[in-house]
């Protein structure tokens, strides 16, 4: 079992913090903070999604012999 990294939880906290900054601070600070916050959040959720996908685990929907869905009983001349 993998250890928990808390990337998504930190990303959600950064979104909440950014919402607070938007309501209370000047526009100049928001222009500086928006890119790092959204970049970290996108990477945190994107890496989590990609890590849970079947392609990373080596499981895909494609057959391993690359011949498609043909069956050996369809071709008797083999």
Note the pLDDT of residue 70.
57
Residue numbers of the domain that contains 28: 1-52
Note the pLDDT of residue 17.
93
Alpha-carbon span 72 to 69, nearest angstrom: 10
62 falls within a domain: no
78 falls within a domain: no
59 falls within a domain: no
Contact 44, 15 (CB under 8 A): no
41 falls within a domain: yes
57 falls within a domain: no
69 falls within a domain: no
Note the pLDDT of residue 76.
63
Which residues of the chain fall below pLDDT 70? 55-78
Distance of CA 38 to the CA centre of its chain: 14
Number of structural domains, the chain?
Answer: 1
């Amino acid at each position: 079992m993998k250890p928990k990294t808390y990337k998504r939880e930190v990303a959600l906290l950064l979104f909440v913090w950014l919402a607070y900054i938007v309501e209370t601070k000047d526009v100049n600070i928001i222009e500086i903070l928006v890119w790092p916050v959204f970049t970290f959040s996108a990477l945190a959720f994107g890496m989590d999604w990609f890590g849970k996908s079947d392609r990373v685990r080596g499981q895909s929907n494609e057959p391993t012999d690359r011949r498609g869905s043909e069956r050996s009983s369809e071709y008797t001349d083999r």
